[in-house]
Structure 1
Amino acid sequence: MREISPSTTLKVLENAFKKRAEGKDISILAAGEPDFDTPDYIKEAAIRAIKEGKTKYTPVSGIPELRRAIVGWTEQRIGIKYSPDAVLVSSGAKQSIFNVLFTLIEKGDEVIIITPYWVSYPEMVRLAGGNPVFVDSAEDFHLDIDAIGRSITDRTRAIILNSPNNPTGVVYTREEIEELAVLLRNKEIYVISDEIYDCLVYGGVKNYSIAKVKGMRDKTFVVNGVSKSFAMTGWRIGWVLGPERIIKLAKSIQSHTTSCPSSISQYATLAALTKDDGSVERMRATFEKRRNRCIELIGEIPGISFPRPDGAFYLFLDVSRYTHCSFDFATELVDHDLAIIPGIAFGKEGYLRLSYASSLEEIEKGIRHLKEFIEELREK
């Protein structure tokens, strides 16, 4: 059995939920999912699918009309026209990444992962038989192209990009994406571009997909889904677009593991992508207001800084002035009525990830608890 790391996130949250069950008024700013309900027009599409008997197996890669909708939606988002045969619909973006890794990786292959990273990337690489190679981001949490170049060996098979980024909220610029493309263009290295937060960007910032860069489309897998942008985490629909030959192989892997995604969720997703009633923009605008309030409130706490959060719904707080162990710090915060995720869960010590996927009232209360805790530490 391979040794897979347990979730540090769950350890902190278990303690927080236990205290809440005991009646403690604890603020939880740790969510990795929107706090909004799925829009009604999407739920109504799912109900129609059930009533119309659309409850059987579908093609493994997804119903044709959904794959066509994904092609159209992707072209609108990033300006690239794919064939429906280049699309594989899965049970969430996590499975999409997993399928690609299992298709590409042979035992001992290396996959570059930028630190800090989403918690599941290293474990998925290990499950596929590969070795994660961690490369620190630059000081501002953007890409350190020179460091990436130094990490490449003859065993490097892929690099995972995540922009907008979880946990930092950073959105990579077009310039740094193009610089990375120059580095990779003549190398047999694939890019897995996790763009699950690409609708959630703020202040006029746009996410730029590396698949758009000349010479990169045929070596890039663009991963997306409806969990974050459409508040559909429980519906479990994600997808990947990429080179048709490899997508076909990934489809074979999926056929022997989970088979097709939920038929009902697929029809709900079809409605999400083709009949948006403005819900996505309303949610994005609300997140932006919350982000701005977080920036204002955290700015009042001495000794804490963070990279510019242009996307997703997180702030990555530098608390290294107060602790060398983010897990212990987060554990103590639970005793001060705030649950927040330690940076070590994302491979970066001395930081905390704050999620603003909560009401403004909850956010303000939680940050107040953080400020009070910091004031106590400063008085010691």
Structure 2
Amino acid sequence: MTVSRTQSTFAPPVMEARRWLEGVAFTDDLPLINVSQAAPVDPPPAQLRAEIARVATDVPEAHLYGPVLGLPELRAEVAAQWSAAYSGDVAPEEVAITSGCNQAFCATLSSIAAEGDEIILPTPWYFNHKMWLDMQGIRTVALSTGDDLLPDPDKAAALITARTRAIVLVTPNNPGGVEYPAALVRAFFELARAHGLKLIIDETYRDFDARTGAPHDLFTDLNWGDTLVQLYSFSKAYRLTGHRVGAMVADQGFLAEAQKFLDTVTICPNQLGQYAALWGMQNLSQWLAGERAEILDRRAAIADNMYKLADKGWRLLGAGAYFAYVEHPFAMRSDALAKALVRDHHVLCLPGTMFMPEDDPAAALGIRIAFANVNRAEIGVLFDRLASADYPRRA
């Protein structure tokens, strides 16, 4: 029987996890702690919502088709801010605005790979990346990482074949939370360049990087566009998840290929969302700095509370941006543990089995905690509940 494109991959993990809540009775004494999804649950700040309302009323063209590659003003703003932030040279023509970062990834892969080609993804991977590759008939080549969750360029080099088209990095990482050192990113860039591949770097969470200054120096390379495709999302920075606004930074010729995909799928990105992103970039830098400070404090709260779990045999493998990735001590697969935590401790998180190949032993051990929507006090309660989990342990 013929298998359709969608049948070739798994169900959306976040939606799957929500089904685990069915039949569980949460109480005031033990309410649900949901650390399964990283998307902000609060709306944009009031001043940004006011701007969206103003544009909706006063800018008639915001309700019409716009340019396929996005508003020229927003493309120019991204180019200017990226050039300054990365000490490089990014032109407006090298920026495309997309309907979210996921679409930027889909457009990128559609522009470089065909059925039967191969893409290298470090594990644990972002599940939507794997899903898209499955649905396109593109082979995902898993690049295993160690306890530090950092991919090894030498191991990646050994995986390159004649069908390899790109290497994908996500930094700060989803699901691992780790921030890839600039030297590591540069090493992957040189590896991709040497083999004529694209290096796709998803920097959705760049606004919440704990480091100051540029996270890498790739845009200082005069010929960065021959190798690099950078992806970004405005959703996390300005709480614009429902407006679906992302960006792709790449060589102008590459964007001409991506434009074919974008025109076919959505014709143009959301107009109101683009105006909102532009206004946010120009007016909300101090507000965003406050958001970053809050996320960094929650990251610190993870470290501050980890002693409660370390005594029970848990290990913290990575923490940063919106995520912590931990290894559990129990003699059960992570998917079974995640379901048990909902039932017994009213904690909803995602298991490592959703971020790795099924036959990878590490998949059974990992748990992702998305802490963007739980404050410091709630993180303390979360760790208390995890510490109270008492299941048979691994030998």
1:31 aligns with one of 23, 37, 53: 37
Q: Given residue 318 of structure 1, which amino acid in structure 2 is its aligned partner?
A: E
Deviation at 1:107, TM superposition (A): 1.7
Contact kept in structure 1, 2:38 and 2:370, CA below 8 Å: yes
Matching of residue 8 in structure 1 with residue 13 in structure 2: yes
Which residue number in structure 2 is paired with residue 49 of structure 1? 55
Percent identity over paired residues: 23
Map 1:305-324; keep pairs closer than 5 Å: 305-309=315-319, 311-319=320-328, 321-324=329-332
Deviation at 1:213, TM superposition (A): 4.9
Instruction: Name stretches of at least 5 consecutive residues in structure 1 with no aligned partner.
Output: none
Deviation at 1:105, TM superposition (A): 0.8
CA distance in 2, matches of 1:271, 1:327: 42
Map 1:59-208; keep pairs closer than 5 Å: 59-202=67-210, 204=212, 207-208=215-216
Deviation at 1:33, TM superposition (A): 1.3
CA distance in 1, matches of 2:100, 2:254: 19
DSSP-derived class of the 2:201 partner: strand
Deviation at 1:225, TM superposition (A): 1.8
Which residue number in structure 2 is paired with residue 325 of structure 1? 333
**What CA deviation, in whole Å up to 9, does each residue of 1:305-354 have, x standing for no partner?**
12342x311110011x3134100000000012111111111113301001
CA distance in 2, matches of 1:115, 1:192: 15
Which residue number in structure 1 is paired with residue 375 of structure 2? 359
Contact kept in structure 2, 1:236 and 1:265, CA below 8 Å: yes
Moved more, 183-192 or 19-28: 19-28
Instruction: Name stretches of at least 5 consecutive residues in structure 2 with no aligned partner.
Output: 357-362
Deviation at 1:10, TM superposition (A): 2.5
Does the C-alpha gap of structure 1 residues 252 and 279 become closer, same or farther in structure 2, counting only changes over 3 Å? same
DSSP-derived class of the 1:293 partner: helix
CA distance in 2, matches of 1:265, 1:298: 38
Matching of residue 268 in structure 1 with residue 276 in structure 2: yes
DSSP-derived class of the 2:200 partner: strand
1:231 aligns with one of 239, 249, 263: 239
Q: How many residues align?
A: 377
1:304 aligns with one of 314, 329, 337: 314
TM-score, normalised by the number of residues in structure 2: 0.89
CA distance in 2, matches of 1:338, 1:213: 45
Moved more, 362-371 or 244-253: 362-371
Moved more, 23-32 or 348-357: 23-32
Contact kept in structure 2, 1:29 and 1:363, CA below 8 Å: no
**What CA deviation, in whole Å up to 9, does each residue of 1:162-198 have, x standing for no partner?**
0000011101101212222232222110011100101
CA distance in 2, matches of 1:323, 1:149: 34
DSSP-derived class of the 1:111 partner: strand
Contact kept in structure 2, 1:114 and 1:135, CA below 8 Å: yes
CA distance in 2, matches of 1:202, 1:26: 29
Deviation at 1:244, TM superposition (A): 0.9
1:349 aligns with one of 364, 369, 374: 364
Contact kept in structure 2, 1:193 and 1:210, CA below 8 Å: no
**What CA deviation, in whole Å up to 9, does each residue of 1:239-290 have, x standing for no partner?**
1010111101111211111111111111111101111251111111111111
Which residue number in structure 1 is paired with residue 359 of structure 2? none
**What CA deviation, in whole Å up to 9, does each residue of 1:132-154 have, x standing for no partner?**
11110233111211110100001
TM-score, normalised by the number of residues in structure 1: 0.93
